[in-house]
Structure 1
């Protein structure tokens, strides 16, 4: 256990970032790939309406993810800093509170979601032709919210203690199992979108049990006992304050999904909803590696900041910015250059492919700027600075993208919807850059003062 703490405190930042980020990148990439493959199987086995059905349902899954990150990422920041400060009691209490909150949420979400299924789908923008597919998919997915939220939040704890390999394994287990079960349920048992949903729920449940086994077996740095499960207001409040930025970012994605679905049905029809779903899946695959770097970077920054090793913390920030910027640029090159090939993987529908090419060429224009935004928000989360993290989480989707996507279609129709994305990316980059520079000045002062003692 002490080896991981020593690793975070002493190993070279370059090697440490590789050691923690590569497993997270692999895990998150595979996680994105199973959504990718899920959509391919549905597109090939059910058609564009099947893709539209799971796209309509996606905002609910994003909301579940948002709450898991609210408590998971917030609690993970506390755990990282507590481990750096050698306060094991607080780290254990925080982990126990994460377990309690996320279990209660998962159960509540499943019951409420299933009870109000049809009104929820209408709110999400399901047209009469999409409704049967969305209903079949979401009615099953909701039963997996308990496992999904538990696995996501607990995975953040594992990363916070520097055990990147186990965090990666959890994602690999879920993704590989889902990919294996998809064709069996969709084609072999002829279950259509219901089969895709069932495969996802089984995969998520398996991951949740694996993580529970990890903690019960005693492989974790943390030792959660029954008294640690008792809700602690101070810990939950601090976790929510720090994780609120991640929550807002994800919820804004859910709100954006609802607005996009309704707007796309109005200006482009069912096919445009399917196009948005396909492009979303492609972005998830190509951008997940940078989120993996962010996941590896945050415990390094949090631990060394808590241990007052500010020069190491600064080095981690700059190396991470360089790495994600390279990924962002490569993503732009591939998506802009080969849209027809990539979209054609999902469907043979000529209308979907034609509309998808046009949309992709517009949406990706400011993709090279996205990586910097990811690390900027992650930096403030790891430092426990909730307000700037919240601002950055709100910037792209809430402050810019949602208002723009509501205005531009009035003037430019469907193209206005697609153009909203690069405009919002550019504006969010400017906000991130300003806050980032201010924080770098603070870091330089801390490094100078630390050198005087």
Structure 2
């Protein structure tokens, strides 16, 4: 059932969350499957060292393209609240400025990435035998990043309009084309890792074409030329909230640098391959929880903008409950089937021996992460940038990076893996404290409990 922006403030919260979260989850699933299958094809048809190359390159490209995601999420919060307050002109100007900001920033950073490609790859851990395949994969991918950035930005605006099914399709499109072209370029044309990069680049462009089609023919946001003019108060508001998402991705990229260097120092290329598999599973296995978080954002943002605080409170409560159940099921599957999962990626016996235990430790605290994800998302949806930034950065920035820097000195590679559940627990406690305080002091027009 398609939902109009106005219905975000009237429909039953449970039905509305399912309506928004299921398509978002399916979209994230396909996006995750895309990365997962890409890694499987590369590992099985090219070799395990190619997985290490992907592990080095993808944090760089996602860092640059996350500009689009950040502007999409931050601007989506502004846009949702503007629609909730019935300020349509502000919503349109917000969208126009998002397009211009994404395009200009993405192109600038792509040029920087191309100019400093060798130094950047070395910084992210392309040591030893990893450098050559990493550079071969990097160049086609980095050139296609502006299209990915525009897709990420546009996808958040599609969701802010309440058109979750179209947002889902936007994430399915690149997954479909990437898998098809992976088979053609890697298996049949024998283009190796360059073929994998070319397939990914084409898939980003196909996603961009779909998003462009949506905004021309299906969107409620009919832009005029003047909406693309820079509106500095709106840019400031978008930037303030976008910093939350971009900072998170920036911290994730810093974390990737630290982990890759630590793993190489303690275990060489094989240790980076192990982390490559784990990082893909982190993207894939948590798709339903991330889908609920994405579905929650426009509901909370619209109702907060409309002053419907009881609905905001209810949406927080329901989202945490649903996400916690799904996160627990995910943990059980990972714990039971860790070894069969690893054998899908590679035939390397050393990697198969080392990865299952590491995978279980990394996912050990996943049943409690719903509070952290939904809590941080609430503050972003409400436009409370400082708390959103604090809580979004808490896991990777305040806890995980220091732990990864310290524990391996005493515990070796195991110190890297045990850092993940410790960081999950600490960041959840911190988010739970702020969220409960917020619910009790600002959103008290309801009898529903929260934590």
Q: TM-score w.r.t. structure 2 length? A: 0.97
Shift of residue 399, structure 1, vs aligned partner: 0.5
Q: Bigger CA drift: 36-45 or 434-443?
A: 434-443
Match of 2:225 in 1: 226
Q: CA RMSD in A?
A: 1.3
| Mapping of residues 159-170 of structure 1, within 5 Å | 159-170=159-170
Preserved contact between residue 67 and residue 106 of structure 2 (Cα < 8 Å): no
Shift of residue 212, structure 1, vs aligned partner: 1.2
| Mapping of residues 140-219 of structure 1, within 5 Å | 140-217=140-217, 219=218
Tell me the secondary structure at the aligned position of residue 145 of structure 1: helix
Match of 1:308 in 2: 307
Preserved contact between residue 243 and residue 381 of structure 1 (Cα < 8 Å): no
Alpha-carbon deviations, 1:93-130, whole Å to 9, x = none?
00000000111122112222111111111111111200
Q: What is the CA–CA distance in structure 2 between the aligned matches of 1:274 and 1:128, rounded to whole Å?
A: 13
Preserved contact between residue 265 and residue 272 of structure 1 (Cα < 8 Å): yes
| Mapping of residues 245-394 of structure 1, within 5 Å | 245-394=244-393
Q: Bigger CA drift: 51-60 or 33-42?
A: 51-60
Preserved contact between residue 33 and residue 285 of structure 1 (Cα < 8 Å): yes
Structure 1 gap segments, 5+ residues each: 449-453
Match of 1:40 in 2: 40
4+ runs deviating over 3 angstroms: 443-448
Structure 2 gap segments, 5+ residues each: none
Match of 1:79 in 2: 79
Q: What is the CA–CA distance in structure 1 between the aligned matches of 2:234 and 2:201, rounded to whole Å?
A: 30
Shift of residue 246, structure 1, vs aligned partner: 1.5
Q: Bigger CA drift: 57-66 or 344-353?
A: 57-66
Q: What is the CA–CA distance in structure 2 between the aligned matches of 1:238 and 1:272, rounded to whole Å?
A: 42
Match of 2:50 in 1: 50
Match of 1:11 in 2: 11
Preserved contact between residue 338 and residue 360 of structure 2 (Cα < 8 Å): yes
Q: What is the CA–CA distance in structure 2 between the aligned matches of 1:5 and 1:72, rounded to whole Å?
A: 17
Q: TM-score w.r.t. structure 1 length? A: 0.96
Match of 2:63 in 1: 63
Q: What is the CA–CA distance in structure 1 between the aligned matches of 2:5 and 2:72, rounded to whole Å?
A: 20
Preserved contact between residue 39 and residue 51 of structure 1 (Cα < 8 Å): yes
Q: What is the CA–CA distance in structure 2 between the aligned matches of 1:363 and 1:157, rounded to whole Å?
A: 32
Match of 2:424 in 1: 425
Q: What is the CA–CA distance in structure 2 between the aligned matches of 1:442 and 1:352, rounded to whole Å?
A: 50
Pairs aligned (count): 446
